[in-house]
Chains A and B, each alone.
Chain A
Amino acid sequence: MGLTQIIAGYVPLLDSAVLLAAEEFGFAESEGLQLRFVRETSWANIRDRVAVGHFDVAHMLGPMPISANLGLTPLDTAVVAPMALGLGGATITMSLDVWSAMDAAGAPADGEPGAVGRALRDVVRRREAAGRPRLRLAVVHPESAHNYALRYWLAASGIDPDRAVDIVIVPPPLQADALAAKRTDGFCVGEPYGSMAVARGVGRIVTTKGQIWQMSPDKVLGTRLQWAERFPEQLAALLRAATRAARWCEDPANHAVLAQMLAREDRLGVDADLLLRALTGRLEFAAGQERLMADFFVPYSRAANFPWASHALWFYSQMVRWGQVRHTAENAARAARSYRPDLYRAALSGMGMPVPGGSSKIEGALTEATAVGAQDGHLTLGPDGFFDGMSFDPDRLDAYIVQQLK
């Protein structure tokens, strides 16, 4: 029997693992699918090639479907996220020069974002007082979980992301080079590129996205709404295959094999040891300084594959906060509809894998891992707190936006 081909675009980052593993380890085939991958060099290409139909689906930045549906992209093609590809997974890494100044200003070694942020604020202020140029901090795209996490952390630490530092764009694989060449002073980027900067002796991980916002969303599986509607069975089969692959990716027994597959030249083309750091949660913040962060990258548990409408709305709130889009009730509704928990739930129904019953939650309500009821069993969610103790209630979106614009 022939397999149905699905063409998938991805950018070489750790959280493309779920999609790549779905094909490599037989999960797609058992659903009658064959995934063909195209590695891309820019998020703009992912966006455009999904929009014109070169790709059926793609590994996408979480905010990307939202920006497509809000008309921020070149093509007016409706894009939806029927699945998320994991939680956490990104670091904030600084050059050794900046770190040594932060260290002197009292930054702790454990990455606690409050204290690390205060130290960075001192460094930024001292530089300003001395008339030195602003720090240049890189992210991979303006509409990315990394840009929003970095800005959230800076703002909550008393550093104005638009005035006190320069935020620039650098493609993920070039981050370590840019840091080494002193073209940037730091970055917030998905793994393995923080670990790569550490391994090359040009950077130090100072905190992680998952410490700024625990269990925070990052990449999604994106597809044209038209494709999702035209091929519902293929999409459902893909969601099942990718979810099984995600469960497999999370199992420590598979980490070594997974890292070897991802390391291949035709996949990520990155040293397997670097990938293992994030997969096992044994991150080296600096050479030889390993820290165990069990939930650093969560590909499956804690409903990591569920495309929460509240995640979409939080991204939207940050687009508004940083002036990328104007807040209207209609825009907010479009943003929320960009994530499709209904499609995910329907595809997974009856598989014995628990899926949340609700589509939205109050982000930051769970201070510890909490068992909740779910379709097909029980689920553990969270902790999902923001480091500054704030929470985001999607039903009180307007108030959240007003409060942040102050």
Chain B
Amino acid sequence: MPEALSILLIDDNAIRASIIEAGLREAGHTAVHIVTDIDEVASQIGMIAPDVVIIDLENPNRDVLEHFFALSRIIERPIAMFVDKSDPAEIEAAVDAGVSAYVVDGLRKDRVKPILDMAIVRFRAFSRLRKELEAARSELQGRKVIDKAKSILMQSRGLSEDEAYSLLRTTAMNQNRKILDIAQALITASDLLGP
């Protein structure tokens, strides 16, 4: 049984970090460290002595981290990034998912690949979750806009709710635009014209 790999996860998103961490632990990795602040990396990396570093691509501190690796004498072996330069498909999958990894040179690829694969899957799942949340939120927002437009029509034209909605829909169809756009335009116009 080879020695356990020390894995450092740098992520300022605590929820995502915990999702990745859970995955790593399920896969039997016990030495997982999470750091949210890049300044802490500087002080802790000596203690953690990571074999693998995982960081999300949205983190503006990637340049800082890479420079730190380049300078650091704590990690004596050079760092190869993305597991292996010769595996463009793996790299592309990682970048697509929004994650990058740095691996201490000399680690056997078969030990690292499952870790990165897992991170990629979990990053994807997280971003899907976030997209769904955003979609739900914007749908809710859209419904509010349409409701407001309906009530403007109901008040100003004396229409019922159904009639107001059907007027919005017909206008949208005639103009080949979305109902939401028509509703927004109506609200803007009504704001401009005043009460």
A353 within 8 A of B: no
CA distance A76 to B62 in the complex (A): 19
Query: Complex Cα distance A168/B41, Å?
Result: 14
**A140 to B96 CA separation, bound complex (whole angstroms):** 24
Instruction: Give A71's nearest chain B residue, CB to CB.
Output: B85
Q: Which residue from B60, B80, B82 sits with its C-beta under 8 Å from A174?
A: B60
Q: Give chain B residues whose Cβ lies under 8 Å from the Cβ of A74.
A: 80-82, 85, 91
Tell me whether A169 and B64 are in contact (CB under 8 A): yes
Stretch binding the partner chain, chosen from A48-56, A114-122, A223-231, A310-318? A48-56
Secondary structure at the B interface, as helix, strand, loop or mixed, is helix
Collect the chain B residues with CB atoms within 8 Å of residue A280's CB.
none
The stretch that binds B, out of A39-47, A255-263, A297-305, is: A39-47
Question: Could you tell me the distance in whole angstroms from the C-beta of A78 to the nearest C-beta in chain B?
Answer: 13
Q: Mark B46-74, 1 if CB is under 8 A from A, else 0.
A: 00000000000111111110111010000
CA distance A177 to B178 in the complex (A): 42
A142 CB–B CB distance under 8 Å: yes
Kindly report which residue of chain B lies nearest to residue A172, judged by CB atoms: B60
How many chain B residues touch A (CB < 8 A): the figure is 23
Indicate if A267 sits at the interface (CB-CB under 8 A): no
Chain B residues contacting A52 (CB-CB under 8 Å) are 88, 91-92, 95
Question: Looking at the complex, which one of B60, B64, B95 makes contact with A48 (CB distance below 8 Å)?
Answer: B95
Q: Is A173 an interface residue (CB 8 A)?
A: yes
Q: Which residues of B contact A183 (CB under 8 A)?
A: 39
Q: Say yes or no for A32: interface residue by CB 8 A criterion.
A: no
Interfacial residues of chain A within 163-194, with CB under 8 A of chain B in the complex: 168-171, 173-174, 183
For the complex, give the distance between the alpha carbons of A110 and B92 in Å.
49
Interface residues of A in 51-80 (CB under 8 A from B): 52-54, 74-76
- Say whether B95 contacts A43, CB under 8 Å: no
B22 to chain A, nearest CB (A): 26
Q: How long is the Cα–Cα vector from A42 to B96 in the complex, in angstroms?
A: 16
A42 touches B61 (CB 8 A): yes
A345 on interface, CB distance cutoff 8 Å: no
Assuming the A-B contacts A49-B95, A52-B88, are A41 and B82 also in contact, with contact meaning beta carbons closer than 8 angstroms in the complex? no
CA distance A70 to B85 in the complex (A): 14
CB nearest neighbor in A for B86? A76
A141 within 8 A of partner (CB): yes
* Partner-B contacts on A (CB < 8 A): 41-45, 48-49, 52-54, 74-76, 140-142, 168-171, 173-174, 183
A-B contact pairs, 10 of them (CB 8 A): A42-B57, A42-B60, A53-B92, A54-B95, A74-B82, A74-B91, A140-B63, A170-B64, A171-B64, A174-B60
Closest 4 CB pairs of A and B: A74-B81, A41-B60, A44-B62, A42-B62
